[in-house]
Amino acid sequence: MEEKNFKIVISFLGKDFYGWQKQKNKETIQGCIENVCKEIFNTEFKLIGCGRTDSKVHGINYVANLKVKTRLKAENIKSALNSKLPPTIYIKEVKEVSKNFHSRFSIKRKTYRYVFTFQKSPFLTEITYYVKNNIDIERMKEAAKFFIGEHNFKAFQSSGSNVKDTVRKIYRISIKKKKFPIDEDIDLIIIDIEGSGFLYKMARNIIGTLIYAGMYKISPEDIKKFFEMQDRKLIPPPVPAKGLYFKNAKY
């Protein structure tokens, strides 16, 4: 039987998981899906994710690929997975692709989304970050301009990574305000960051810096100094993981 390669698009609520990457004695997205795959295929296989996510981070269109010898078609695999996975994980798409497709190494751009709010709500406790301070959104947008382009993001990488090449390119940062559709008294601030790749907690450190600028704790121009100094101690703390979403990947 010939091995097939399937691209899988996954959405997941991260609050009960220790991120994507499989870990011993911890519930992860990869581990959960792999366990279900073993039930379905009853054979060895390779499940490859497009990158790691932190504990409690969510996924909107997270991409993985699955290499397996099977006669099942893509639509049958999607149905089988969704029938066995917990409600916090949903397979949005399964598509057979070329054998050369690799969800991690074939990627060109990634987009992360961050959501925070100024109003408390029981509906949002696990999926957004509540900020009690007033924030100047226009000042955040001004600060965001200093991240656009190719930079050495070493200072925006949290400890715990051994990556040597810390240069990344940010293509776009958008900041917008939207009403929460369930309770329209609540405003959501939505930040999308599109980049060539992200270092460990880099997205959360960027958002934390933008929020500090919006609170007038730093000036937008300070970000230029952060890149010049490359001192991790100067960077504002990262925002909590629960407001972060892997939005999509471009290939």
Q: Across-strand partners of 91? A: 10
In the chain the beta strands, taken as DSSP E runs, fall at 3-12, 46-49, 58-69, 89-97, 109-117, 129-130, 149-152, 167-179, 187-195, 244-250
Q: Phi-psi category of 48—alpha, beta or left, where left has phi over 0 and alpha has psi -120 to 50?
A: beta
Catalytic site includes residue 54:
yes
Strands 58-69 and 3-12: antiparallel
Asked if 1 and 71 count as a contact pair (C-beta separation under 8 A), the reply is yes
Considering the candidates 16, 54, 187, 231, report the single residue annotated as catalytic: 54
Strands 167-179 and 187-195: antiparallel
**Residue positions annotated with a catalytic role:** 54
